[in-house]
Amino acid sequence: MIRISNIKIGINKVVARDAERQALQNALLSRIELSPKDLIDFKIFKKSIDARKKDAIVYIYTIDANVKNEKYILKKHGKKDVAITPDLSYRGVRPGNQCLAERPVIIGMGPAGLFAGLILAKNGYEPIILERGDDVDTRAAKIDAFWQTGILDTKSNVQFGEGGAGTFSDGKLTTLINDNRCRTILEAFIEAGAPEEILYLSKPHIGTDLLRETVKNIRQAIISHGGEVRFQSEVTDFIIQDGHLNALIINDKEELPCKIALLGIGHSARDTFEVLHLRGIDMSPKPFSIGVRIEHPQEIIDRAQYGDSAGHPGLVAADYKLSYHSSNERSAYTFCMCPGGYVVAAASEEKGVVTNGMSEHQRNGKNANAALLVGVQPSDFGSEHPLAGVAFQRKWERLAFQLGGENYHAPAQLVGDFLADQPSTEWGDVKPTYQPGLTFVQLKECLPDYVIETMKEALVYFDTKIDGFAMPDSVMTGVETRSSSPVRINRDENNGSNINGLYPMGEGAGYAGGIMSSAVDGVKTAEKLMQKYAPFK
């Protein structure tokens, strides 16, 4: 096949899928001067939007085409935008020859655990996956109950359960890493029911509604290939002898013999971090970010990004990504932007308020939201203890809980009042989406001074980039503290820790940030295991 890049199609021609394909075919034939009879087939490899010219917004495509007389076409048109399609297929690893004494165990069923389990199961290693939370359906019911009543299940919530924290998010699949495994993971998502468009969109997302079904189907694939999944199975201790993992304690009572465990526990597994520290695993504090969720009308963002074309049926809900370096040498940025989404209660511990963002696949909610975060360093934590970052997070979460009314209502302030350093008294045009409720406070009471100062400067600056970003009625909801893991579990070049047989992986261990990079790290860690050991069966 040949790859043709930089094909531009106006938004009027992409409203319907059939119209889009016809427009692409016409543009393709014109670009390489090809007769329709010589075009066998084509498919989209990449699709992105160029909205720099608000009066001439276009989609930019890269197309893979199967054509007759390929060599002639390449000779005539071969340049940077016309070339042979590269081979991006996944290359598996050669299995090792050491025998496994027991089946390998995966701790945690977020993206790292899911995809480590999938590749191990497909290659005959019969993994056992232990997940402290529930299956996604039971989990969703408990989360809905929490949002309605404020009754929190600390084992099964937005952070814990099948699919991990990403299941109750926007389901973003964007990543900065360049790895062929990304495409394999996207293909696995599609096989499990995700939309095919995630394979070519420049900013793919699944949405929480579709992602819940997708992770269930991946679970079934793992089981069908010989894997085992056990819910409500929290690893509460590790039996270590002479520096080697020997067994796992599940729910404080069951002892499971285990020589190999892949540790995909997620960034909120604070109790597991504590146990690991007591058992001598080598870990260190790492930087992360804290702040709030900021909520605008989606139409404001659409107007800022698309101009008069906002609302056009050929356009998706607009997003943004902003950053700012402040006068106090701190950096602020927006993170996990959810077009047409919702601010959600994401606590996993009692007496703490945590916020996050979530969107469904259609992204058709009235509001847009994003995390507005400021970076913090281990030097801010007040201690050199490996878990000092956890204590730092907990401090602000508990303050937010107290200020909100000690019922999981979150503290909130309007942007105009935040900038004027005065409490808010009533909602404006932006109606907040957080449940179970909000309480007006001054956010400076539940965040460090330097975070408040940096956010104030950033808001003013961001308003010059997106008109209306600092609109007075915008809602700021605190606190967001779980941007990434506060801990790094140190590992060697084989992804092993200082405890023989224990392999840290994914976001919780400090080696990823988001669904895709966590999934890739899970696959890489599984590969390290496979290169050393023969399949279990």
Summarised one tens digit per residue, pLDDT across range 16-48 is 888 999 999 999 999 999 999 999 999 999 999
Q: What is the pLDDT of residue 154?
A: 97
Domain parsing of the chain, residue ranges? 2-84, 105-284+488-532, 287-480
Q: What is the pLDDT of residue 472?
A: 97
Through-space distance between the first and last CA atoms of the chain, rounded to whole angstroms? 39
Q: What is the pLDDT of residue 373?
A: 98
Q: Which residues of the chain have pLDDT under 70?
A: 537
Q: What is the pLDDT of residue 378?
A: 97
Q: What is the pLDDT of residue 21?
A: 93
Q: Six-digit token pair at 349? A: 């511990």
Helix axes 111-122, 208-224, angle to 10 degrees: 30
Q: How far is CA 321 from CA 29, 169, 239, 456, 466, in A?
A: 35, 17, 45, 17, 10
Parallel, antiparallel, or unpaired: how do β-strands 105-107 and 261-263 relate? parallel
Does residue 469 sit in helix, strand or coil? coil
Q: What is the pLDDT of residue 234?
A: 98
Q: Six-digit token pair at 143? A: 């989360």
Instruction: Say which amino acid occupies 376.
Output: V
- Give the H/E segment covering residue 522: helix 515-532
Tell me the per-residue pLDDT of 258-283, one tens digit each, with 9 for 90 and over. 999 999 999 999 999 999 999 999 99
- What is the number of other CB atoms lying within 10 angstroms of the CB of residue 307? 13
- Give the H/E segment covering residue 188: helix 180-191
CA–CA distance, 54 with 31 (Å, rounded to integer): 25
CA–CA distance, 356 with 362 (Å, rounded to integer): 19
Evaluate whether 237 touches 271 at the Cβ level (below 8 Å). Answer: no
- What is the number of other CB atoms lying within 10 angstroms of the CB of residue 422? 12
Q: Annotate 123-181 with DSSP letters as a single string.
A: TT---EEE-SS--HHHHHHHHHHHHHH----SSSSSSSSTT-GGGGS--B---S---HH
CA–CA distance, 162 with 519 (Å, rounded to integer): 14
CATH 3.90.1200.10 given to domain 2-84: no
Q: Read off the DSSP letter of residue 36.
A: G
CA–CA distance, 434 with 363 (Å, rounded to integer): 16
Instruction: Find residue 237's DSSP bridge partners.
Output: 249
Which of these, 249, 111, 101, lies nearest to 181 by C-alpha position?
111
Instruction: Say which amino acid occupies 263.
Output: L
| % of the chain beyond a pLDDT of 70 | 100
CA–CA distance, 181 with 343 (Å, rounded to integer): 31
Domains 2-84 and 105-284+488-532 share a fold: no
Q: Which residues of 28-47 are buried (b: 16+ CB within 10 A; e: fewer)?
A: bbebbebeeeebeebebbeb
Q: Six-digit token pair at 51? A: 């909205």
Q: What is the pLDDT of residue 80?
A: 80
pTM: 0.95
Phi first, then psi, for residue 378 (nearest 5°) are -55, -30
Architecture (CATH level 2) of domain 105-284+488-532: 3-Layer(bba) Sandwich (3.50)
